[in-house]
Structure 1
């Protein structure tokens, strides 16, 4: 086995190495962590209006949610036809009352480029509610898309217990 600081199998410095170090040292116990995916869905009608959407999702009160990746998907993505270019989203943390991202994220970029990954993590306060807010370019949607689309954003992250050992 190679030590953490030398050899070809060594992890480079950074947050992943610290994370594995915390697991190995016992600082992070399996009973204090959970991995979860929170999925938010929206139905956007022919007029470009959000017809229905997943309501807020509550974070488990004894845990903080450390957001690591954001995935975007579209039901029948072969029907995209450019509709994803007319859509943006943000994640709203209701506990602190602000958006996770400084500016809305292009749905097309998240859909085509794969998951949005964080070098660090965004940590939500325990017991907060998360929701995804959608922004549609309505005039262009009506003239270019003129169809209903179902879109999804999935937040992948870790639940970390707030309790001490």
Structure 2
């Protein structure tokens, strides 16, 4: 039964947010779907129930979501728009050290980088991610880390480690 409750809870919240409705029918349907998802996928998605149910982690996840959508995405979109208009692009692949340990945290960092305009993670190993970057302003790994992934890693550690 490991992981059933956190997975079902996340599925239920996602279902209600996407339907945008809290009618009794939608709540019942969401509960049924969430329980099914939890039973089918929970043991594969969650390795430690105690960590997954920690309310502090959920609060950090909410804070990360808001920061990502309102700050990181907006700044990146503006930066890419200006680069398109001015033609100021210096694309290249940079080697960026990654300072998170769990697979979940690494996945969050890599997906956040890829979903942010101007950067795409093209490869990853235990200690580094390789990022195709629209503005290769530095090839120094630590400087690139501070510009590309440091903020994402800060949140990933609080959520998953």
TM value normalised by structure 2: 0.29
Looking at secondary structure, tell me which structure has more strand per residue: 1
Looking at secondary structure, tell me which structure has more helix per residue: 2
Higher RCO (CA-CA < 8 Å; seq separation 6+): 1
TM value normalised by structure 1: 0.29
